[in-house]
Amino acid sequence: MEKKRVLFVSQEINPFLPKSEISTAVRRVSQGTQEAGKEIRVFMPKFGSINERRHQLHEVIRLSGMNLIIDDADHPLIIKVASIPSARMQVYFIDNEEYFKRKAIYAEDNGTACPDNDERSMFFCRGVLETVKKLGWKPDVIHCNGWMTAFMPMYVKEVYAQDPHFQDTKIIYSLYETGFENKFCDRLSEKLKFDGFSDEMIEKVKDGSCDAVTKVAMDYADGVILCTDNISESTKSHFESLSSHKLEFNPEETQTKVLSDFIDKVIEEEVLIS
């Protein structure tokens, strides 16, 4: 029997970024999923604050060189990779000088959110999908972590819906306490329209708030995981109303085992439907 393939996509992973709710959870569950016998790939953005020399990042020339068009402008896609020796894991990094070279991760020094966070999110999600295609690696499940991955379920289900590489891929979206306060760019609808999203989806996220984007990500996902016991009432209510697979919050010591079982359940549901 072939190993199940799980693609972890996260805006943060420890030790490349400081410990946080997301970075520690993704490091733990990705390593645990691999140790449970599944084949994994792990992606995150290459923020400018990541020390490339310390973590021994290097560019993967054979994967770099593509250009992605975001808002009618070309943006070179650079792929880098590094290892976590203690976990026997590789992590791929999505890089672009305009979007990720700056030291700011999500907000400027004055606390104002980066004005192009919407485009950075779009570039990151598309960059992951295009890189996975170039690798020739078909994921059974894409596990999304953090608001910067919120567009991923929509990309897979709409923009890449006819792409044979992702036709059988299921999406799991994890909910965390961490979000963003400032709304995305006022031109978000135009940017999404240019990228091929449906009017129906754009209408749901057009105000650009974290709440709106998160709810649509949940709607498009095949499974949703509550990774915190501290979440807004609005988001929790939407989570409870979902008809897709749901996983309630589990303490750290059981998260990895429960997640592995949840992944199996989501994949098997696809097999039964097909």
pLDDT at 243: 92
Q: Distance between CA atoms of 78 and 96, rounded to whole angstroms? A: 6
Whether pLDDT at 2 is above 90: no
**pLDDT tens figures, 252-271:** 888 888 888 999 999 887 44
Q: What angle do CA 142, 79, 126 make, to 5 degrees?
A: 45
Question: Is-cis flag, bond preceding 15, omega within 30?
Answer: yes
**pLDDT tens figures, 33-84:** 999 999 999 999 999 999 999 999 999 999 999 999 999 999 999 999 999 9
Q: Distance between CA atoms of 177 and 56, rounded to whole angstroms? A: 31
Structural domains of the chain sorted by starting position, each given as residue range(s) with its CATH number in brackets: 5-44+117-273 (3.40.50.2000)
Contact at 8 Å (CB) between 261 and 31?
Answer: no
pLDDT at 68: 97
Question: Residue 273: which pLDDT band, with cuts at 50, 70 and 90?
Answer: very low
Would the pTM count as exceeding 0.85? yes
**pLDDT tens figures, 81-95:** 999 999 999 999 999
